[in-house]
Structure 1
């Protein structure tokens, strides 16, 4: 069954760098959930190296870090989303919803012209 749906990819750019987008938002949510960049990466089927690259990019693009890390010890390391990281994540999710709402009626009309099996 074919169904029309609207999918947005909001990205916040800093020069030519993607400072924040859907993948980075998902990574921050996974870090919040797991308390670890490594575990967050695993839960997203992403390499640890790639997750670190995304965290480094986010941290470099904002006034202060969105993710703070603790080096390992007897209890291992960890990571946490900072207050700014939580703010950025929340604002980003709101922006995504507002973008969808802004075009929803146009999408409804456009999708009425599509071949869709009911």
Structure 2
């Protein structure tokens, strides 16, 4: 039996997972022109690692496998010159912290996101105002 192999990078997969969640507004993915990027799934993982202080706990919290989370952290780490996370092998439970650069990376990304949202708010509001009424799935009444 042939197996289908996922051709997405861990970053694309995490970004795709984040994109599947129903959310409203603009989503920013920063492309660096050489194939590398930083997107909302990557930032969400870093923020969850900061909160959980563990890649494993962050992965569980986000509903992804530890391997996928670890590969994503590795991808982020290879993207930048400075380390983004610091691991503490052997520490039970909480073995990962963000570095000062990891914290700065999140802040920079959130700043780009905030400014992009501010700059596009009027256009997005106009698009939203033009939305057609949502159709309910078969058998469900439409609220409104």
TM over 0.5: yes
Offset at 1:46?
0.7
Name structure 1 gaps, 5 residues minimum.
none
Q: TM-score, normalised by structure 2?
A: 0.69
1:38-83 Cα distance to aligned partner (Å, 9 max, x none):
000000001000101111111111111111111125x466000110
* Aligned mate of 1:79, from 92, 96, 100: 96
Offset at 1:115?
2.5
Does residue 109 in structure 1 map to residue 126 in structure 2?
yes
Offset at 1:114?
2.5
Q: More relative contact order in 1 or in 2 (CA 8 Å, sep 6+)?
A: 1
In 2, distance between residues paired with 1:46 and 1:54? Answer: 11
Question: Does the aligned pair in 2 maintain the 1:68–1:82 contact within 8 Å?
Answer: yes
Does residue 27 in structure 1 map to residue 45 in structure 2?
yes
Offset at 1:107?
1.8
Q: Secondary structure at the match of 1:103?
A: helix
Q: Secondary structure at the match of 2:31?
A: strand
Flag the 1:116–1:97 CA change in 2: closer, same or farther, 3 A: farther
Question: Does the aligned pair in 2 maintain the 1:31–1:79 contact within 8 Å?
Answer: yes
- Higher share of residues assigned strand: 1
In the alignment of these two chains, the number of paired residues is 112
1:99 matched residue in structure 2: 116
